[in-house]
Amino acid sequence: MSDYDQKALEALAAAVGAALLGTGQRLATAESCTGGWVAQSLTAIAGSSDWFERGFVTYSNAAKQEMLGVLPATLTMHGAVSEATAVAMAAGALRHSHADWALAITGIAGPGGGSADKPVGSVCFGWAGPDGCIAVESCRFAGSREEIRAQSVAYALAGLLERCVTMTA
């Protein structure tokens, strides 16, 4: 599994947990292509119930709409793998939880499903936090399906950690 083995992902998850615990904040996740891997990494940490509020696995467009409130127009205009959808997923995870922070991941892990505009390895991330803080980024990862998914988990957690630390500094 590329540079990210499960122990490394759990170490990153533990750092996120420590940052959240230090501020008394909680996290919700909204995952598509990672299928709950972020939530699994977070809940592998003892005591995570103190800072992990809930996780949404919204693999289908219908689940994104029903569970997170992603608008059909967003999916039609931008597609499931888009920054607009990632932001809507993160915002929806906040609205439908009791969390202070949310992270969202939507992408194409492969080996199929890519296109010229959105090749395999295209992943969009959204983070939503206190005081309306919203951030979005897109990446293109290389490797096998597992490697793309692992890199996505690591990127989402590292992005959240960076934002949590910045907000509390």
Cβ atoms within 10 Å of 32's Cβ, excluding its own: 27
The SS3 call for residue 131 is: helix
Q: How far apart are the first and last CA of the chain?
A: 34
Cβ neighbours for 22, distance < 8 A, ≥ 6 positions apart: 168
Reading the chain (169 residues) residue by residue, the pLDDT tens digits are 445 699 999 999 999 999 999 999 999 999 999 999 999 999 999 999 999 999 999 999 999 999 999 999 999 999 999 999 999 999 999 999 999 999 999 999 999 999 999 999 999 999 999 988 999 999 999 999 999 999 999 999 999 999 987 766 5
Cβ atoms within 10 Å of 155's Cβ, excluding its own: 19
- Letter for the amino acid at 151? Q
Domain annotation for the chain: domains and CATH numbers: 6-168 (3.90.950.20)
- Letter for the amino acid at 56? F
Q: Are 129 and 136 in contact (CB under 8 A)?
A: no
Q: Model pTM?
A: 0.95
Q: How far is the C-alpha of 130 from the C-alpha of 38, rounded, in Å? A: 20
- Cα dist from 33 to 59, 93, 124, whole Å: 7, 16, 10
- Cα dist from 45 to 16, 17, 48, 72, 117, whole Å: 10, 8, 6, 36, 38
